[in-house]
Amino acid sequence: MKWIKRYGPYLVLYGVAFLWIIPILWMADTAFKPTRDIFSIPPKWIPSHFTTEHVERLFAEWPFARWLLNSLIVASFVTLGSLVVSVPAAFSFSRLHWKGRDAVFMFLLVFMLLPWQVNIIPLFFMMTKFKFLNTYQGVALPMIAMPIGVFLLRQFFINIPRDLEDAARIDGCSSLGVLLRVILPLSKPVLAAFSVYIFNYAWNEFFWSMICLRKPQMVTLPVGLKILQGAFEIDYGLILAGAFMASLPSLMVFLLLRRQIIRGFTLAGSGVKG
């Protein structure tokens, strides 16, 4: 009885966690076992031998490295772009006063709740007109325009004590000075959380990326995997090698920065409450 009380919770916790990552373990397992083992019945947990043939084929026959690079460029572009436009906007919506500010912000709020991907048809034709199809800026710009960042940052900026700003202004700070010297230094955790959230969002975005990027050389990882999967419906070795290699960057970054990432998502997900 005492034993159960002491170790029971551990058993449940680790049991659930293990069950939860079986799909990931199975993905890694499939990616590195010979095709014969992949289709064996019953499923073979331990491969007869370890092989990298699928991964080698992935890099030899597909522009997988290029997809990785594209994802990295798009996600960085979106993150930086968002920071550059959202920070001053959030500052303006929280600490500066101008006519119609709150009405405009309410309007933004409604749009935050609407998923912009639903607009792919008009966006597609707009981007055709701008000649932005198959370009990084084409995929990135609608994501940069997402209001979530402005919303999140505003929530935080609003709670910074007024006195700090007043003191800076008395010392001769302009609004820009207040933003750069008072607000931003105090907002490092929120800016980090925001960056983690947006980077992950852009890194994983699928619907619009698939519509906007149509050249196999230009696509990001999620779209590339879709191409891979569509080309060989049953070549599971290759497809899962692709899926595994695509999840590897996330896994490595997560193992390195677990604490920061979890804190970032917690802040982004619940910070909305203020």
- 81-100 binders of another protein (CB under 8 A): 84-86, 88-89, 91-93, 96-99
**Shortest separation between residue 39's beta carbon and another protein, angstroms:** 5
> Which residues in the 198-257 window bind another protein by CB under 8 A?
200, 203-204, 206-207, 211, 221-223, 225-226, 229, 236, 239-240, 242-243, 246-247, 250-251, 254
Q: Tell which one of 9, 69, 161, 216 touches another protein (CB under 8 A).
A: 9
Q: Which two tokens stand for residue 160?
A: 């910074």
Largest CA distance in the chain: 77
**Shortest separation between residue 185's beta carbon and another protein, angstroms:** 18
Q: Which two tokens stand for residue 158?
A: 């609003």
Residue 134 in contact with another protein, rule: CB under 8 A: no
Contact 140, 159 (CB under 8 A): no
Nearer to another protein, 59 or 125 (CB): 125
d(CA 68, CA 66): 5
Residue 16 in contact with another protein, rule: CB under 8 A: yes
Site string for another protein, 177-196 (x = CB under 8 A): --x-----------------
**Shortest separation between residue 263's beta carbon and another protein, angstroms:** 9
d(CA 81, CA 260): 21
Residue 98 zone, left/alpha/beta (φ > 0; ψ -120 to 50; rest): beta
Q: Is the dihedral of CA 100, 102, 103, 107 positive or negative?
A: positive
Q: Which two tokens stand for residue 269?
A: 């997900």
Residue 79 in contact with another protein, rule: CB under 8 A: no
Q: Which two tokens stand for residue 65?
A: 């490295």
Q: How many residues bind another protein (CB under 8 A)?
A: 96
Residue 36 in contact with another protein, rule: CB under 8 A: no
Q: Tell which one of 4, 41, 60, 103 touches another protein (CB under 8 A).
A: 41
d(CA 209, CA 127): 12
